[in-house]
Structure 1
Amino acid sequence: MTDLFEHPALQEAPAAPTRRRSAASRRAAAKRKRRRRQRTAVVLVVVLAFVGAGAYLLWDRMDSLVGDLPFIGSQNEDYPGPGGEPVEVVIPEGATGGQMGTVLQEAGVVASVGAFTDAFGQNPAAAGIQPGTYQLQAEMKASDAVAALVKNEKLQTNVTIPEGYTVAQIVDKVGSVTEITPKQLEKALEDPESFGLPKQADGNAEGWLFPKTYTVQPGDDATTLLTAMVKQTKHELEAAGIDEADWEDALIKASLIEREARAAEDRPKMARAIENRLDRGMTLDIDAAVAYGLGKPGTQLTNDDKADTSNKYNLYKHLGLPPTPISNPGASSIEAVANPADGDWIFWVAVNLDTGETKFSETYEQHQRYVDELRAWEEKNGY
């Protein structure tokens, strides 16, 4: 009998199952490899998405900063200068060097933003460039443009309105130093809503045009300037803590004080004397108001003027406050109305017309002594 393990057929038979398992293993391995490739592809797509998003955010952030960084290559193109036709440019509030460069490039002043920002970075004084309207030249060398802006020689006019000026005086003053004409101002004053005049003013801007120095830029018109004045008056009233409902009365009182007082320390005392007289039902007897109603200087008042009942501003004949402010008061007069001094004064008189020295009194007898002092001063000084 032949040995089982020596039979040729039986010796080859075990090899078949081994080959079938190897094929299956290969198929499984291939399947696993395909799955790994798919997972790798998915991971790669996700990673690339994150990288792309990060790159976009980085570029977006850099783009917001690059306006102030030097450009390279053709983006640094510069004109040789010195420049040609005049060009007006407006540098906005808070502008960076890059933003200034953009304004100038678009206006044809500089050849590129890059050249300007290079020059801006090299000029230590460039950080002091102020907003405003400037006259430069077309096709300037970037460094020359920066140097011109550094001078802060803006195309603007400063107009100073003194405390106590009337609307009529303000119209004349503005017309004399700016391109805004008196006729333009008078026309604008006819439309009080256009410049923010409160309804309690009843269309009369007297008292609401705050006295200070204003900057008039090219392109500003009468309405622009009047709006700034009224806005400043509202700010001062709010800062003094005066209720909005009392603004007009406060300005009337402050305007009286503005035209009567010379020294800062007298203003709160005058404010108190006005309140004391109003509380007692007394006429205010203020010459400045009488003069305003007549359109003449207070030094030219006559006894007939003080007896004229047709003058609504005659505070010798009419009780209470005048119908409107008589001037445009400054901050110290408004503050005096908001915070009057403590005292029982009901009279005041300037005893020295040169210095404005003023004396206050609580009784008529005392007041008359101070009036006599004034008369003696006037006689001595030829008044």
Structure 2
Amino acid sequence: MTDLFEHPALRQAESPPPSRSRSSASRRAKAKRRRRRRQRTAVVMVVVLGLVGAGGYLLWDRLGDLAGDLPFLGSQAEDYPGPGGEPVQVVIPEGATGGQMATVLAEADVVASAEAFTQAFGENPAAAGIQPGTYQLLSQMKASDAVAALVKNEKVQTDVTIPEGYTVEQIVDRVASVTPITREELEAALDKPKKIGLPKSADGDAEGWLFPKTYSVQPGDGAVDLLSAMVKQTKTELQDAGVPESDWESTLIEASLVEREGKHDEDRPKIARAIENRLDSDMPLQIDASVAYGLGISGTELTRDDTRDPENPYNTYVHEGLPPGPIANPGAASIEATAAPADGDWLFWVTVNLESGETKFASTFGEHQQNVEELRAWEEENGY
């Protein structure tokens, strides 16, 4: 059989190889053409990327944080397999984007990475409905499970405790710091006294009417709900103490003085009686806490000039009778003490031990001066 292919030796004989110079020139020409093609491609890529970059910047500038909510196409973000470990409470801030939520959850170790949550957020159509508030999730959850849990909007009940003697300003600070209710929402509600249940005698001022105790803020509760509950509780306490509605405001004014002056509940009925005795005797009350309230300072900042200032309507050194309004929000013990003072002829009281709160009462100025000397001796001994 004859071979179908020519023998290599015959091909070489019939087609002699090109010379070295022609071969080198050909290779140089091909290389030059390749370089030109690469240069043209690079120029085109630079132009395209520049256009994309400029457009991308404008788009990013317009969309802002929304861009953080889009899934990272084609990337494999670090994620936990789930289902999760220990319970973790997280707070979703007002107006948070998916990217901001991702940061909160990643820092709390609820999800393995912000990227994993952001991807899961973008893939869940209901994620845009997640509400601000406190949620109980689990540590090390799968990101998609975390999104699904937040989508349910089953927020955790928050308890907020208001101590006796807090002012409205202090109450606003406390509520805003531990609940999803903001300071702005609280102040807006306080500007609508009828909506929160304040009686006409309060003259639109909630001071004294926000009863101090622990309140449970349920999911969905707002500022009006919480403040209304506080006012309602104050009315209940006044009714339970047998105070007629016509005396509610004056009782709260006196009770607020008792609250700020008394250190122990057993002393409060005596302080209430001493206040009543002074009022009956047309004596100025001379209560530092009231003067300080009117100036917006603490009692420790008071000066002698402050107690002589007639411009301060809460200055009980120069103005006889009760101050124009409560100076704090009194608790049940102070309201009860004011409604039913102890029997006695006391006109003076002074705390003689600032650590234990021991308070002594006197019927005469001479007795009172002896008690004041006892306080001075205690202060000197204890470096006050």
TM-score w.r.t. length of structure 1: 0.60
Q: Which runs of 5+ in 1 are unaligned?
A: 1-81, 83-132, 137-152
SS at match of 1:191: coil
Distance 2:310 2:373 in 1: 27
Residues 134 and 380 from structure 1, CA distance in 2 versus in 1: closer, same or farther, beyond 3 angstroms? closer
- 1:333 matches 2:334: yes
User: Pairwise CA RMSD of aligned residues?
Assistant: 1.9
Distance 1:303 1:227 in 2: 39
The one-letter code sitting in structure 1 at the alignment partner of 2:269 is P
Partner of 2:255: 254
Deviations 1:179-234 (CA, angstroms, capped at 9, x unpaired): 11111101110010011000000000000000000000111110000000000000
Partner of 2:344: 343
The one-letter code sitting in structure 2 at the alignment partner of 1:227 is S
Deviations 1:336-355 (CA, angstroms, capped at 9, x unpaired): 01110000000000111111
Deviations 1:346-369 (CA, angstroms, capped at 9, x unpaired): 000011111111100000000011
Pairing of 1:284-295 with structure 2 (within 5 A): 284-295=285-296
Distance 1:303 1:380 in 2: 24
- 1:235 matches 2:246: no
Partner of 1:64: none
After TM superposition, give the deviation of residue 135 of structure 1 in Å: 7.4
- 1:221 matches 2:222: yes
After TM superposition, give the deviation of residue 134 of structure 1 in Å: 9.2
SS at match of 2:349: strand
Distance 1:354 1:293 in 2: 26
Pairing of 1:70-149 with structure 2 (within 5 A): none
The one-letter code sitting in structure 1 at the alignment partner of 2:304 is N
CA contact (8 A) 2:360 2:371 kept: yes
Residues 215 and 367 from structure 1, CA distance in 2 versus in 1: closer, same or farther, beyond 3 angstroms? same
Partner of 1:300: 301
The one-letter code sitting in structure 1 at the alignment partner of 2:227 is L
Pairing of 1:275-290 with structure 2 (within 5 A): 275-290=276-291
- 1:174 matches 2:197: no
SS at match of 1:265: helix
SS at match of 1:192: coil
Residues 323 and 198 from structure 1, CA distance in 2 versus in 1: closer, same or farther, beyond 3 angstroms? same
Partner of 1:56: none
Partner of 2:213: 212
CA contact (8 A) 2:196 2:224 kept: yes
Distance 2:376 2:194 in 1: 48
Question: Which 4+ stretches in 1 moved above 2 angstroms?
Answer: 133-136
Aligned-residue identity in percent:
69
After TM superposition, give the deviation of residue 297 of structure 1 in Å: 1.1
TM-score w.r.t. length of structure 2: 0.60
After TM superposition, give the deviation of residue 321 of structure 1 in Å: 0.3
Partner of 1:382: 383
Deviations 1:279-326 (CA, angstroms, capped at 9, x unpaired): 000000111101111111112211111111111111011000000000
The one-letter code sitting in structure 2 at the alignment partner of 1:168 is E
Distance 1:344 1:135 in 2: 57
The one-letter code sitting in structure 1 at the alignment partner of 2:347 is I
Partner of 1:164: 165
Distance 1:135 1:287 in 2: 46
CA contact (8 A) 2:168 2:329 kept: yes
Distance 1:282 1:245 in 2: 24
Distance 2:258 2:136 in 1: 43
After TM superposition, give the deviation of residue 261 of structure 1 in Å: 0.4
SS at match of 1:256: helix
Deviations 1:231-270 (CA, angstroms, capped at 9, x unpaired): 0000000000000000000000000000010011100000
CA contact (8 A) 2:197 2:232 kept: yes
Residues 135 and 298 from structure 1, CA distance in 2 versus in 1: closer, same or farther, beyond 3 angstroms? closer
The one-letter code sitting in structure 2 at the alignment partner of 1:355 is S
- 1:320 matches 2:321: yes
Partner of 2:9: none
Distance 2:165 2:135 in 1: 33
Partner of 1:202: 203
Distance 1:333 1:352 in 2: 21
Q: How many residues align?
A: 238
Deviations 1:14-67 (CA, angstroms, capped at 9, x unpaired): xxxxxxxxxxxxxxxxxxxxxxxxxxxxxxxxxxxxxxxxxxxxxxxxxxxxxx
SS at match of 2:181: coil
- 1:309 matches 2:310: yes
Residues 256 and 177 from structure 1, CA distance in 2 versus in 1: closer, same or farther, beyond 3 angstroms? same
The one-letter code sitting in structure 2 at the alignment partner of 1:192 is P
Name whichever of 373-382 and 275-284 sits farther off.
373-382
The one-letter code sitting in structure 1 at the alignment partner of 2:332 is A
Distance 1:334 1:274 in 2: 14
